[in-house]
Amino acid sequence: MARLIQAGIETLPPGQRVTLALSDVQGMSYQEIAEATDISLGTVKSRLARARAKLRDYLREQGELLPARYRLG
């Protein structure tokens, strides 16, 4: 399953991928991400939202590969 999620993350554009990793993997706040990547707070918000939405859609497409309890509705 980790491979599937990793593959989904790799489909994202670099900017969205970095923002997602800093937020959901590293646990950084929007403000910290904005400072670390030198982008505005609004861009962080939109990039993170797009990254999560794309990953959700990817996991929905690959839903049959996921265990039942991890399948998205």
Partner 1 sequence: MRRLFGQARERERRDELLSAYLDGELSAGELVRLEAQLVNDPALQAELDALRQTVALVRDLPQIPSPRNFILPQATPSRPRSAPLARPRRAWAAPLLTAATAVVSLLFVALLSLDLLLPRMAGNLAFAPEPQMAAETPQEMPVEQEAPAEMPPAAPDEAEVGADRAPEEEKAISPVMGGGGLTATPTPLATTLAAAERSGEGADHWDSVSEEPAEVAPPPVEEESPEPPESEVIGAAQPASRRPLEIVLGLIALTLALATVWAWRARRRC
Amino acid of residue 19? T
In this structure, what token pair is assigned to residue 20?
A: 């997602």
Q: Least Å distance between CB 72 and partner 1? A: 4
d(C-alpha 43, C-alpha 8), whole Å = 21
Q: Least Å distance between CB 53 and partner 1? A: 4
**Other Cβ atoms closer than 10 A to 69:** 5
Measured between its terminal Cα atoms, the distance across the chain in Å is 17
Q: Least Å distance between CB 31 and partner 1? A: 9
Residue position matching structure tokens 């993350």: 9
Of residues 29-68, which lie at the interface with partner 1 (CB under 8 A)?
29-30, 45-46, 48-50, 52-53, 55-56, 59-60
Which residues of this protein are in contact with partner 1, per CB under 8 A? Answer: 1-2, 5-6, 9, 20, 23-25, 29-30, 45-46, 48-50, 52-53, 55-56, 59-60, 70, 72-73
